[in-house]
Amino acid sequence: MPITVGQDNAKARKTLSVNGKSISFYSIPAATEAGFGDFSRLPAALKVVLENMLRFEDGGFSVSTDDIKAFGEWAEKGGKNPREIAYRPARVLMQDFTGVPAVVDLAAMRDGIVGLKGSAAKINPLVPVDLVIDHSVMIDEFGNPRAFQMNVDREYERNMERYQFLKWGQTAFDNFRVVPPGTGICHQVNLEYLAQTVWTDVDQNGNEVAYPDTLVGTDSHTTMVNGAAVLGWGVGGIEAEAAMLGQPISMLIPEVVGFELTGEMTEGTTGTDLVLKVVEMLRELGVVGKFVEFYGSGLDKLPLADRATIANMAPEYGATCGFFPIDAETIRYLRNTGRDEDRIALVEAYAKENGFWRDETYNPIYTDTLSLDMGSIVPAISGPKRPQDYIALDAAAATFHKYVEGQRSAKDASARAEGRWEAEGGQPEPQEIPGNEGHHKLGYVTTENGNYQLHDGSIVIASITSCTNTSNPYVMIGAGLVAKKAHELGLTRKPWVKTSLAPGSQVVSEYLEAADLQKDLDAIGFNLVGYGCTTCIGNSGPLAEEISKCINDHDLIGVSVLSGNRNFEGRISPDVRANYLASPPLVVAYALVGDMNVDITTAPLGQDKDGNDVFLKDIWPTQKEIADLVEQTVTREAFQSKYADVFKGDEKWQAVEITDAETYDWPAHSTYIQNPPYFQGMGTEPGTISNIEGAKVLAVLGDMVTTDHISPAGSFATTTPAGQYLLERQVQPREFNSYGSRRGNHEIMMRGTFANIRIKNEMLDGVEGGYTKGPNGEQTSIYEASMAHQEAGTPLVVFGGEQYGAGSSRDWAAKGTALLGVKAVIAESFERIHRSNLVGMGVIPFEFTGGDTRKSLGLTGEETVSIRGLDTIEPQQDVPCDITFADGTAKTITLKCRIDTAPEIEYIEHGGVLHYVLRNLAKS
C-alpha cells in the first residue's frame, strides 16, 4: 500500500497517508533527526513510552525535552536510565470486583466536591473507560445442561444492587462504558475486541492523530493485551481513578529485559507448557518493576494466542509487562478477530513508518537478555501454591508426594495416625493407596451415586477457566479433542471431581460448537457454567457437602487443577490446599484420573468399554488435528457476530432499572454499596507528613504475602467479623456472596482485610487466619484489635518479608490497610502495584536496609515503633526507625522510604491521591 510522509509544523509531528486518508502522528525517526537522541535501537516497548513523551511534550503536559533525551541516554547507558517521567495511557480497563469500588470512589468524589463548593460534573473520566462485568458468576451448578442458566440466574439474584449501581454509573459519567455480565472476561474482551494496537483521536486543533494503543487496568492481568503489541499493565483502582481523572502515572524509565525465543514447539506440548517455563525462568532472573520484551526467530512460529498467554502471566513472573512487538502475526490476528480493515492497514503502516515493526532486521538494545529454545519445552504443570513452582509433568506425582510428606512431617506421628478413617456403621475400611508409605490420610464418602475413597491428592476441582488459557483456541480445541477421544472410549470424570468450563468469551463457545466438541466436553462433565473468571479468582462455588465434610473431618489435602494463572493458598477453595496450574487438555486428563498421586504420563487414566487400559497418549491430539480445526472454526465472522452488540447485554441486563441522577442516592440499608469515609469532612487544604510515634504492631508477616492474603477475597464464614456484620443485618449465610462482590461496602472489606484463612501472623504461634494480639495481649481478630487501637489513638504498623503485596492489583489490599489504622508497612521488598496503592491511600511503605529483617531483629509483635525524618522526607530517603522491645531495650535501624517520586510526596500530604485530585478539581 502506498505510504507518504510529510513534515508538520510541530516538532516530530508528521502525517501518514493510508488508503488515501491522511493522519498525523509523532515520528520517532524525526525526533532522532531533530537531535533529541538516537532512538533507533530502543526496544519497541520503550518506543511506545517515548512516543507518549513526544506527544505530550508538544502539548505542554509536564513533559520536558530532557525527558525525551533521557531515552537516548538509556540506549547509550546499555539499557538503564531510571529518570522519573509522567506517562499518560490512552484508556483504562476495569473489571467489576475492582471497578465497583472505583465507581464508588467516583460517586463519593462527586459528593465530596459538592461539599467543597465545586461542581459534581467535574468528576468524570477524561479518558475512555471500559468496565467488563466478569468476576461475579460463581459455580453453584455444574456438570449438567442447566448449569449455565442457573448460575446466571443466581448471579443476578446475588448482585442486583451492584448491577444497578454500575448501570447508574454508565449513564451518570461521560467516557464510561459497561460490558454486561455473561459476555466474557475483561482481558479476553480487550484482546479480542476493545484493543486496536494503534489508537486514534482528535487533538485540540481538530486534527486526527494516530498513536500506540495503551492502557492501564484495575486487574494485574491487563498485561495480556501486550501479546497484541498494546502496552498495558495492572494498577490498583486508586491509581486507575487518578489516571482517568487526568493525572499522569509517575514512573521511572524502566529497564527492558529481552527474552529471545528460538525454535518451535514440539508435538504434545502447548502454549501453557511454554508459559510455565517462562515464568520459572523470569522469576529466577528477577524482573520486578521491569519491562520484558520477547524477540527472536521463534516468534515467527508463535501464534498470537500463545503470545497473549505469555503476556497474561507477567504478574506471575513479576514484570510490569511482557511485550510482543507488532509483526505479521499481529496483523493476521487483528484481521481474524474482525477488526476494521482500515484500522488493520493503519496498524501496519504506522508500525513500519515509526520503527515499531518486528522483522528479521529487528535488533534492539536490552538491559539484560534470556534465551529459550521452544523445542526444549515439555508438558508441565505448576504448583501447589505458586505459579513459578514449575514441574515437568512426568515428575508431578513424585513432587506431590514430597509436598505431602513436608506437610505431614510438620505434625507429630500421633496426629497423622488420627487421620486414618475408621469404619463406622458397617462401611468398608479404606485401603492403603499404592506408594502411600504411611503418610497419606484417607477418608470415605458415601453418596447417592455410590461409595468412594478420598485421600491426600484426590482432585476435587478440575476447571477450564481464566483468560490466560480460554483465550487460546489451540488449547481449547485441544481440550475438546481430549474429551472427544475419552468419551468415545467410554471414559468420564471421577465422581468426586467438580468439573467446569468457563470460557473467557462467547466466541469460544461458538467455535467449540462449530467443531462439534462441546457435546463431548458435556459428556464428561465440562458443561458451560458461565462466561467469567470463576475458579481462577476463587469463585469455584461449594463442593458437595459430603466431600467437603470428608476433607475437613480427616484433614485431607484436597487438590484442584485449573487452567488459570493463580494458585495461591486459600484462593481456589477453602476445602483445597494444593492447587495446580495446567493446560486445558491436561485439566480434562486429570479429571478423568481424579488423583494427583497418579503419574499420568505412564499410568492408565482409566479403562475403556472393553476393560482395556487407556493412557494419555491414546487420547492426546496431534498438533495437526488441533491446527486444522482451529483453521476451520475460529473465523472472523464468529468474532464479528459475537461482539456486534457487546454493550447491549441480554434481557436480564436490559431489565435492570436505575434512577437518572448526577449524584448517587446511597441506599441506607445496602450491604453491597456504601458511601466510603475517605472524603467526608475533608478540608480544602492538604496536611503535612508527620513522624510516626509510638506505633504498635498489627501483624508480622512472612515472605510472598500476596494481595490474596491481605485483601478480602473468596467466600467467608459466619464466624468471621464480616459474617457477623451481615448476620447482624439479617443477611442469611446463603446470601453472603463473596468478599469480591462486596467491595463496594467498606465495612465488610475492613473486616476482611488480613483475614485470609491461610495467612500466618508470626505474632501468634502456628495460628492461621486473620488473628493478632489485641492491646491486652490476648488473641483476637485483626479487625477487633485495630478498632481497639484506633479508639485509643494508637498508630499501627505491619512488618513483612520479601515480595510483599505480590499478585493481583487489588486496591482493597491498600484501602483495608489504611482503614485499619496502619500508618506504615515495613518489608524487605514490595511488589510494584501494591507499593503504589499503599501510597495512593496515604500509607507509607518502608524497606529494611543493611541486612535487617523481621527475623534478624527477632520481632515478635510486642515492640513499639517510631519512625523519624518524615517531616522533611524526600523520595526514597533513608530514615531512622526506633524499635523498643518488650523487655525495654531499644534499637535504631535505618529504613528506606518507598515514597518513590515527588508527586507521591504530595499524595501522602493530601492523605491519598484521590484527595489530591479532588482538592485540585474543586479549586479549578
Kindly report the CATH number assigned to the domain that includes residue 865.
3.20.19.10
pLDDT of residue 738: 82
Closest-CA residue to 808 (of 644, 589, 571): 571
**624 has pLDDT over 60:** yes
Q: Is the pLDDT of residue 547 over 90?
A: yes
Residue type, 103: V
Whether 479 and 583 share a structural domain: yes
Is residue 393 within 8 A of residue 600, CB to CB? The reply is yes
Give the pLDDT confidence of 503-518 residue by residue, as tens digits: 999 999 999 999 999 9
Decide if pLDDT at 412 tops 90: no
- pLDDT-based confidence at residue 429 (cuts at 50, 70, 90): very low
The pTM of the whole model exceeds 0.75 = yes
Same domain? 630 vs 697: no
**Domain assignment present for 333:** no
Looking at the fold, whether 60 and 169 belong to one and the same domain comes out as: no
Residue 307 lies in a domain: no
**Per residue in 276-303, pLDDT tens?**
999 999 999 999 889 999 999 999 999 9
CB 108 within 8 A of CB 673: no
Q: Is 621 within a domain?
A: yes
Set of cell numbers at residue 771: 488473628
Beta bridge partners of 878: 896
Using H for helix, E for strand and C for coil, what is the string for 247-278? CCEEEECCCEEEEEEECCCCCCCCHHHHHHHH
DSSP E strand boundaries for 437-504? 442-447, 450-455, 459-464, 498-501
- Clarify whether residues 542 and 423 are in a common domain: yes
Q: Which position has the grid cell 496450574?
A: 581
For residues 309-338, one letter each, b for 16 or more C-beta atoms within 10 angstroms of the residue's C-beta and e for the rest, the string is: bbbbbbbbbbbbbbbbbbbebbbebbebbb
Same domain, yes or no: 58 and 106: no
What is the chain's mean pLDDT, rounded? 91
pLDDT at site 430:
39
Domain shared by 56 and 114, yes or no: no
Same-domain pairing of 52 and 181 = no
71: in domain: yes
How many angstroms separate the CA atoms of 434 and 430, rounded? 12
CA nearest neighbour of 254 among 202, 163, 318? 318
Residues 6+ apart with CB under 8 A from 628: none
Question: 3-class DSSP state for residue 479?
Answer: helix
Query: 805 and 761, same structural domain?
Result: yes
Q: What residues have CB less than 8 Å from 126, skipping those under 6 apart?
A: 175, 244, 245, 246
Q: How confident is the model at residue 468 (pLDDT cuts 50, 70, 90)?
A: confident
Q: Could you tell me if 158 and 88 are in contact, meaning their C-beta atoms sit under 8 angstroms apart?
A: no
Residue 166 domain boundaries: 89-135+147-197+212-251
Cα-based angle 5, 8, 11 (whole degrees, multiple of 5): 110
Of the ranges 126-135, 323-332, 699-708, the best mean pLDDT one:
323-332
Q: Is 51 a member of any domain?
A: yes
Percent share of the chain, pLDDT over 90 = 75
Could you tell me which residues are beta bridge partners of residue 372? 261
Q: What is the pLDDT of residues 553-585, one digit of tens each?
A: 999 999 999 998 888 877 889 899 999 999 999
Q: pLDDT tens, 94-104?
A: 998 888 888 99
Stretch 643-655: mean pLDDT, rounded? 93
Cα–Cα distance between 700 and 765 in angstroms, integer?
12
pLDDT at 35 over 80: yes
What's the pLDDT score for residue 396?
96
CATH number of the domain within which 564 lies: 3.30.499.10
One-character DSSP codes across 224-253: GGGGGT-EEEE--HHHHHHHHTTPPEEEEP
Confidence of residue 25 (pLDDT cuts 50, 70, 90): very high
Residues 467 and 410 in one domain: yes
Cell of 481: 479433542
Q: How many domains does the chain have?
A: 4
In a domain, 360, yes or no: no
Residue 425 pLDDT class (50, 70, 90 cuts): very low
Q: Are residues 72 and 220 in the same domain?
A: no
Give the confidence band of 440 by pLDDT, cuts at 50, 70, 90: low
> What band does 416 get if pLDDT is binned at 50, 70 and 90?
very low
The answer to whether residue 265 is domain-embedded is no
Check residue 223 and report its DSSP letter. G
pLDDT of 680 reads 83
From 634, 655, 673, the end of a domain falls on: 634
Does pLDDT of 274 surpass 80? yes
Residues 6+ away with beta carbon under 8 Å from 685:
919
Beta bridge partners of 261: 372
> With contact defined as beta carbons under 8 Å apart, do 317 and 279 qualify?
yes
Q: Say if residue 82 is in the same domain as residue 96.
A: no
Would you say 827 and 898 are in contact if contact means Cβ atoms under 8 Å apart?
Answer: no
Query: 637 versus 467: which is more confidently predicted?
Result: 637
Please say which residue of 612, 634, 656 terminates a domain: 634
The residue type found at 826 is I
Out of 634, 660, 677, a domain closes at 634
pLDDT value at residue 617: 97
- In one-letter notation, the amino acid at residue 513 is E
Residue that the C-alpha cell 529471545 belongs to: 260
* Average pLDDT estimate for 841-850: 96
Span 829-846, mean pLDDT?
A: 91
Q: What is the predicted pLDDT for the residue at 58?
A: 58
Strand, coil or helix: what is 793?
coil
Residue 361 DSSP label: T
Report yes or no: 810 and 236 within 8 Å, Cβ to Cβ. yes
Considering only CA atoms, give the Rg of the chain. 27
pLDDT value at residue 8 = 44
Question: Is 698 contained in some domain?
Answer: yes
- Whether a cis peptide bond, with omega within 30° of 0, leads into 676 is no
HSE-CB at 872 with a 13 A cutoff on CA atoms is 5
What 8-state DSSP symbol labels residue 432?
A: P
Whether 726 and 865 map to the same domain: the answer is yes
Mean pLDDT of 413-433: 38
